[in-house]
Structure 1
Amino acid sequence: MAERKKIDTGTNVFLYFVAVTVHLTSATAGIAFCWSSPVSPKLENLDDNPLGVALSVDESSWLASLTSLGAVVGPFAGGYLGDSIGRKRSLTITAILSTLSFGLLAFGQYLYIYYVARFIGGEKLRRFIIGVFLVVYVEYL
């Protein structure tokens, strides 16, 4: 009988780490898109509002729509950065923008900080979805 070779399972840990990381980034994209839906009613009331001021309907609408406005910029910035500084650095910048966006939303105490965070979040999402998935990940397949 032929002997079976023992499979090295040490390399599988890194593979699982990468798979979980990619799925978490997709989950954060969904969270960022849907963030304004449950948060807007909270920000329009004074009960549990971190801003201390109730938002008007217009301000709440801007807060929800800035993600889409940021998404217009994302593919152009992602494509340019991918070509100019490289794919890995572009992925790193996307991760930093994601962390910055969620950090500003978590600890921001002024409306304009929320506006900036939502714009960065939208820019980061489109860069990630279009610039990273379609450009960077395809190269590594």
Structure 2
Amino acid sequence: MTAESARASDFPAIVRLLTDAALPHDDLTPEHLRHFLVLRDGDGIAGVVGMEVADDAGLLRSLAVSEGRRGGGLAARLVDALEARAASAGIRTLYLLTTTAEDFFARRGYARADRAAVPDAIAATPEFRGICPASAACMSKALVPAAV
């Protein structure tokens, strides 16, 4: 199973997957899907991850794997694919908010970040402005080394 770009026609299935995973999606539209990746299997979409782009920063969001496929490494595959795509698009740092997966992301090289220090364009996203609670862990990962 290889991560591939989501299509607008995937939108209802992605919303169902996010709903099943208790993840926010009220702000999503089919237009957001241009920065989303999915894993497909015979039953449809097995996993999804998305990104919002703001200059050279990205907001990783909406990582979900269908209940029957959890524990098999699909989430890691999705994150790896999104990071590779983000880096090739010039994204230098990925940010995220999580209430449940801090350990998962820490194992993948993400570290706690000061929510007040994220770029303004990321802080202005609906997810930062109020969809995710203030208690959510803010994390970041540099995808390319800082210029010296």
The answer to whether the superposition gives a TM-score over 0.5 is: no
Q: Which has the higher contact order (CA 8 A, sep 6+)?
A: 1
Q: What's the TM-score once normalised by structure 2's chain length?
A: 0.25
Q: What's the TM-score once normalised by structure 1's chain length?
A: 0.26
Normalized per residue, which structure has more strand? 2
Normalized per residue, which structure has more helix? 1
Which protein is bigger by CA-based radius of gyration?
1
